[in-house]
Amino acid sequence: MNLALFDLDNTLLSGDSDFEWAQFLISRGVVDREVQEAKNIQFYEQYKAGTLDIHEFLEFQLAPLTRHGRAELDAWHGEYMARHIRPIIGDKARALVGRHLAAGDLCAIVTATNSFVTGPIAHELGIPHLIGTIPAVNPENGAFSGKPQGTPAFQGGKITRVESWLESLGLWWGSFGQSTFYSDSHNDLPLMGKVSLPVAVDPDDKLRRHAAEHGWTILSLR
């Protein structure tokens, strides 16, 4: 058996699911456009530079989930999927996932974006496992608390989360003939260094240079 891990944003998606969720909330009048877009630009520049404080980002990212009931959020998510996400899932991405599934590989999305936003996207792609940042909920009423639960799936945290998931299945890295991780970002170099076959997908400049220097496969799904 082989293992296939996929980053989501700007890898399987031709865009960023968290950014698109923010744009959807702006269109609904749920969040202030100027504030949201200014903070998004600030965080994105930090992300590109590799200096993003994931906890500061998550505090901002998860805050809108605390202001609305789950039924309302779920209803919005269906509209978000139709308007913002399905249009940025390309045929090449679907075909890549399909080949791994048809081969019987163990497949998972590994993403820093929270699992409320990304869960239905994994389902849309037919990927059975999602390792995303988990938004904590209030046990009394099931409402989102605005805090992450456990280790965010970001940078080295992706290794921690993947290894914990594998252990829960009674597996480890040595259980697989081949392990593959597809990503666009240099922030994913820690996990890319753990697999036997790292693949740079439409990579940022830092990842492209690293991939070229180390002879890694470079792939475009656009």
> What CATH number is given to the structural domain containing 153?
3.40.50.1000
Alpha-carbon radius of gyration of the chain = 17
140: confidence class by pLDDT, cuts 50, 70, 90:
confident
How far out from the chain centre does Cα 201 lie? 14
Maximum distance among all Cα pairs of the chain, rounded to whole angstroms: 52
Read off the pLDDT of each residue in 49-61 and give the average, rounded to a whole number.
86
Given the DSSP bridges, would you call strands 129-137 and 144-149 parallel, antiparallel or unpaired?
Answer: antiparallel
Q: Which of 9, 18, 184, 188 is catalytic?
A: 9
Q: Is 219 helix (H, G, I), strand (E, B) or coil?
A: strand
Mind listing the pLDDT tens digit for each residue in 57-86? 888 888 889 988 889 999 999 999 999 999
pLDDT (0 to 100) of residue 73: 94
46 or 99: which carries more pLDDT confidence? 99
Torsion angle of C-alpha atoms 130, 135, 140, 143, degrees rounded to 10: -100
**Distance between CA 92 and CA 167 in Å, rounded?**
31
Domain span at residue 142? 3-219
pTM of the model: 0.94
Dihedral class, residue 164 (left if φ above 0, else alpha if ψ from -120 to 50, else beta): alpha
Active site residue 9: yes
pLDDT at residue number 49: 85
- The answer to whether the CB of 40 falls within 8 A of the CB of 142 is no
> At residue 138, does pLDDT exceed 90?
no
Condensed to tens digits (0 to 9), the pLDDT of residues 181-206 reads: 999 999 999 999 999 999 999 999 99
Which of 7, 16, 105, 188 is flagged as catalytic? 7
Q: How many domains does the chain have?
A: 1
